[in-house]
Chain A
Amino acid sequence: MSSITRDEVAHLARLARIELTDTELDHLAPQLDLIIGWVAQVSDVAAADIPPTSHSLPLTNVMRPDENVECLTPEQALAGAPAAEQQRFRVPRILTEEA
């Protein structure tokens, strides 16, 4: 029984913002199907009355004092940017013409 189709994998790739090639899709789709079938065995033991654990530590929110501390300079923050302009990250257009 197939748990995931090639079309669904293509849809996932769009959600994940990865422009997969056809060859990659051909290769990945059956692999993901196999892996998903294999990980599904967790359902064999995960009964309804078992609480989920998201984290190994009993955590509460951690706050620091509201004080100014040293941080990166604008030059440091922009040093690794693919493109920068006027002390800002320059990005490709984010809106379409009609918007």
Chain B
Amino acid sequence: MSDLTRKTAAELSDLMTSGQASSVEITQAHLDRIAAVDDAVHAFLYVDTEGALEQARSVDERRAAGEELGPLAGVPLALKDVLTQQDVPTTAGSRILEGWRPPYDATTVARLKAAGVVILGKTNMDEFAMGSSTENSAYGPTHNPWDLDKIPGGSGGGSAAAVAAYEAPLAIGTDTGGSIRQPGAVTGTVGVKPTYGGTSRYGLIALASSLDTPGPCARTTLDAALLHEAIAGHDPMDSTSIDQAVPPVVAAARRASVEGTRIGVVKEMGGEGYQPGVEARFHEAVELLTKLGAEVTEVSCPHFQYGLPAYYLILPSEASSNLAKFDAMRFGLRVGDDGELSAEEVMARTREAGFGAEVKRRIMLGTYALSSGYYDAYYGQAQKVRTLIQRDFARAYEQVDVLVSPSTPTTAFRIGERVDDPIAMYMNDLCTIPSNLAGNAAGSFPAGLADEDGLPVGFHVMAPVMRDDLVYQVGAALEAALAEQWGGVLMTKAAELEVSR
């Protein structure tokens, strides 16, 4: 069964249920794939070979004993290194947490374990999820499996690349400003940001607490929905968790229909700054959805353009507070504790040594925006923009069921190209940020390859709060129609990675 790594999670589940493959075989196949390609891709920061095989054995035993298991039992997954997994190294891509082994599981991780999902290891990311290219990882960049010289997106570039490189059928990401959707878009995979509060933040090393949302990465919409359902739902450990039933995302992914769905194309998300190949694939996808029975109109959301600058006030403000916990006292790195230096001096030396350039940049920006005399002018104003963006969404959803746009203005760029141009880097998240500020559900789905560079383009679907099902329904309809044209999902067009060893 050499092709186990090419199967979707749903197919792997069927193989196990029908006794054609065991979880140990499937897990080993993915571990072998990681060994073969990850030197080149660098999607993983840590591979938990023993732990994964042990989980797989346990699922196989339970299945053999006739236990009723969930749909993802025995299916391997890659976990973004920003979520705590008990006794497994968790760094959030930072030196300051190097070697830290958390004493507890994040709720997402606890739910994955309860579902029998096999966790292969921890994936690379921009340090503390600050970035759009995974170049800000303290442990070196991840490479895009479509072109190893290109970025895989970020912050969850490791999770998206692991899925695109067939190192795992599923991965967990976290989306604060696009960190699931933008990597999904540039790696030709599916990435969904659930409604804020729809998935638990407990055990997620916080970046911006009012925005952070864990969610699924996969090669197909159905797989993403299955993973979404496994991790979503109310969690008493997260005070901002929504106490409502999980939207029926799996049923929606199976329904895969846009018959009568009212789709609004966001007028402001296109034109200047958008790559022609991105716009071409986007508009073709919209036409395709129209043919499938969707009612498409253009909708104006005039304040979305202010989302990006507002986000770069809100996020650094929250991050500078959240990252104050890295004070060299209770966990992580400590530098200069020589018996002479004070706690404050040790703290300052440790943070200097342990944080990378982008983290420092954002902590400083947040410190500035929150300092007395500036609070009203910056953070206060950004919060008003947040209101305006919510109002834009509310008005739009009076006319349409979902909004659509390209997921990113451009395809993947060359590693190193934007490293020292923060504002150009921030532009990656132009289309994804409004959904974070408003808290609604959104996802990116493969729309084809750009003509200029042959790299993947993402189609972005935004739906109201707790209507995550609509995101999947539209994404799945597009996926099915495109797969018919292409003879498979977009990933089947990717060139084979060179296998080492």
Contacts and interface: CB of A to CB of B under 8 A. Distances in A.
A51 B369 CA distance: 19
Nearest to A4: B368
Contacts, number: 180
Interface string B97-141: 000111110000000000000000000000000000000000000
A18 interface: yes
A53 to B, nearest CB: 4
Interface stretch (B35-43, B170-178, B356-364): B356-364
Contact of B332 (A12, A39, A82): A82
Contacts of A64: 236
Question: Chain B at the A interface: mostly helix, strand, loop or mixed?
Answer: helix
A13 B309 CA distance: 22
A2 B173 CA distance: 38
B239 interface: yes
Interface in B214-256: 236, 239-240, 242
Nearest to A59: B240
Contacts of A92: 337, 339, 341-343, 345-346
B438 A56 contact: yes
Contacts of B355: 18
Contacts of B422: 31, 34-35
Contacts of B329: 81-82, 89, 91
Nearest to B241: A62
A29 to B, nearest CB: 10
B196 interface: yes
Given A18-B355, A57-B439, A82-B329, A94 B197 contact: no
Contacts of A36: 365, 368, 378
Interface string A49-84: 011111111010110100000001000110111110
Interface stretch (B62-70, B386-394, B404-412, B467-475): B386-394
A34 B348 CA distance: 25
Contacts of A13: 364
A52 B385 CA distance: 8
A77 B438 CA distance: 36
Interface in B369-394: 369, 371, 377-378, 380-388, 390
A12 B370 CA distance: 11
B388 A46 contact: yes
Contacts of A76: 103-104
Contact of B312 (A12, A18, A39): A39
A45 to B, nearest CB: 6
Question: Chain A at the B interface: mostly helix, strand, loop or mixed?
Answer: loop
A1 interface: no
A98 B79 CA distance: 50
Contacts of A41: 306, 309
B143 interface: no
A2 B368 CA distance: 15
Contact of B361 (A32, A47, A57): A32
B303 interface: yes
B331 A19 contact: no
B52 interface: no
B385 A19 contact: no
A51 B384 contact: yes
A74 B341 CA distance: 27
A50 B381 CA distance: 9
Nearest to A3: B368
Contacts of B103: 72, 76-77, 79-80
Given A9-B364, A76-B103, A89-B330, A52 B387 contact: yes
B364 A12 contact: yes
A80 B327 CA distance: 13
A18 B305 CA distance: 33
Nearest to B377: A43
A44 interface: yes
A55 B437 CA distance: 8
B387 A51 contact: yes
B421 to A, nearest CB: 9
B283 interface: no
A12 B367 contact: yes
Interface of B: 100-104, 196-197, 210, 236, 239-240, 242, 303, 306, 309-310, 312-313, 320, 327-334, 337, 339, 341-349, 351-352, 355, 357, 360-361, 363-365, 367-369, 371, 377-378, 380-388, 390, 422-423, 437-440, 465
Given A39-B382, A42-B382, 19 more contacts: A4-B368, A12-B367, A12-B371, A15-B371, A17-B327, A18-B352, A18-B364, A32-B365, A39-B310, A39-B312, A45-B385, A53-B384, A54-B386, A55-B210, A56-B196, A56-B386, A56-B440, A59-B239, A80-B102
Interface of A: 4, 9, 12-21, 24, 28, 31-32, 34-36, 38-47, 50-57, 59, 61-62, 64, 72, 76-77, 79-83, 89, 91-94, 96
- 4 smallest beta-carbon distances between A and B, as pairs: A56-B439, A52-B383, A82-B334, A46-B384
